[in-house]
Structures are given as structure tokens and as C-alpha cells.
Structure 1
């Protein structure tokens, strides 16, 4: 059981992360001093909770990837054909990103998004049913799917990641906001065709 001091510390850390995300969502650069000001704290006081801006950003990215992975996992269902399941998973990814644009943009711009494999894992069984891809050397352990082609699974998962990033970039950053859902459906259909689903 946690102590009152530990609970207070966790509460303040959550408030710092919320303030940082609000700043990012407003398109403002992230600085610990600005976040501290937003919370009525001094900059040095904030360093008791996060040692650096990079530590705060890394935690936000981990949190975001965890939330995104949970949203995609929740949409994974064994029923339906592979194409239908692919659309459902991609839509869950898209919906989460649109609901959390600042956090998604932060996650998608992270140099090494550790945890992306957890987001992609529910896609693997779908793509493993597709046309085998060329042999891929050095497949990561998370790409292996019982009863399926791991090369097809990994190829499809990486392709869906890149296509979703593109669709969401257009929807969240570009002058074409509002067409993301239609673009998503077209991209996922094209990917399903490519992968033989």
C-alpha cells in the first residue's frame, strides 16, 4: 500500500504530464519551465518529479504507446475475415490518434518508439494469413505467429504502421483534414490487396 506522500507524488506527476500534453496539443514547444508555470510551480520544483525534459517526453511516449496498444488490442476479434479484421484494427488505431492528436504526434515523432511492437502485435495474425512475403532475415521475436508466415506478418505490420502514419499526418497536420476516414479505408483496402487478404 502506498503512503500519502507517494500518492501525492504520483498525482503531481500526472498533473505535470497533463500540462505537458496540453502544451503539446496547443502546438507550443515543450519546456519544463513553461509546464511548471502552467501548474503554478517553479522550474526547479518540477525537477523533483522529472529529471529532464527528455525524461518527461520519454514517459509521455511510453504512456501514449501503451494507450494506443490497449485501444488496438481491444478491437482485436477472432471473428470475421482477415480484411474485415484489418479494417477494424486500423480504425481503432486511427480513432485513438484522432481522439489524442497531441499525444499521437508526440508518439509518431519519437526517434525510437519502444513499444510500437505492442501496437502492431494484434495485426500480426491478420497479415500472417496473407500471401507470403520475401524471406526476411533476422525477424524479431515478436513477429512470429503460430500457424502463419512470420515474414508476411512482419511485412504487413510495418506497412500498416507506415500507412496509418501517412493517413494521420494528412488528417492531423495537413490541409486535407476531414478526409482521413475515407483515405484510411482506401489505404487499408490497397494494403489488403497487396498482402493477398
Structure 2
């Protein structure tokens, strides 16, 4: 619609698809996808901009998916905090991890969790396993366990209104456990139990 600025396109697939784009490569010509409709064997054609979008959006979907795992986002009133935290600990961290793995050999590539742990260790200049425990031995604190287990607190809460199997399926699986009780707790349940 406008050769110098953004393009506005409307295309009818199963329903109307309205597109607004500033990309010069986005083409409105119908291109054969190589697929055929069931029953009629009619060739499926789509605009070039839809095909280009579908092809290139995979990287963003992958980045969003990977930043969702081990997310640092918490509820809050100030929305700008969420944006800043997502940019630093989501997008930037994922980009660094992808670049790190792209220059490594297959043997040296790290999963995201190990990459984040190595990054933390480089900032605090200690290995995570070597961080000393609190001074008081009688004090309860969370420590990292070896195996993922179900949170005891979440299970007990769910058990009040669900059968044991359902509560077992829906309770959180976590690595952390109480240093004194030796029971697995997520952070909210630990704080409730040991407040």
C-alpha cells in the first residue's frame, strides 16, 4: 500500500489474516508451498511474507521458550522491573548461551542450567558447591540436593482436596531440601514451614 513505508496486507486463509510490516523483503505475491489440500489435491498457496515470517520466527520462539525455563520473573507492581529483568536474565543470557555453544565443539557445549551456574561461579569467584553453609548448625536453610523430588509442602496442601495420586502428579518437583529436616521444599513452602 505504501512503497516507502510500512505495508498493510490482508489475506484470507481459514480466516482473515491482517499483516502490518516494514520489511522490504515481504512480498504479497502468492507462492506455492508444495503442500496440497486434503481431498481436493489443490495446491496450497500463501503470500511470500507469511512464508518468510513462518520460516524466521522459529528463533524467537526458541529464545522465548529457553528463557522461560529457570525464569527470574516474579510478580510485582512495577512493570519496568519485569522488562529489565527479562532483558538481562532472559534475552541477553540466552543470546550469550547460544553464542557460547556456537563456538564450542560438541563435547564442550553446555546445557543452559550449567551455563548459568558457570556464569554465577565466574561472578562470585567460587564454585557453587564450595559456598559455605550458615554458621549456626541448628539453623534451617535450603541446600541443593542430588535428585529432583516432590515438594512436601505443596503435596500436603494439594492432598487436602485431591486424592494422593493426583496430588503426587501436581506437586512441584524441585532440587532443594531443608538442611535439618532433610525434606524437599520449594522456597514458598520452606518459608511457611520455617518462619
TM-score, with structure 1 as normaliser: 0.30
Q: Which one has the bigger strand percentage?
A: 2
Q: Which one has the bigger helix percentage?
A: 1
TM-score, with structure 2 as normaliser: 0.30
* Structure number with higher relative contact order (C-alpha < 8 Å, ≥ 6 residues apart): 1
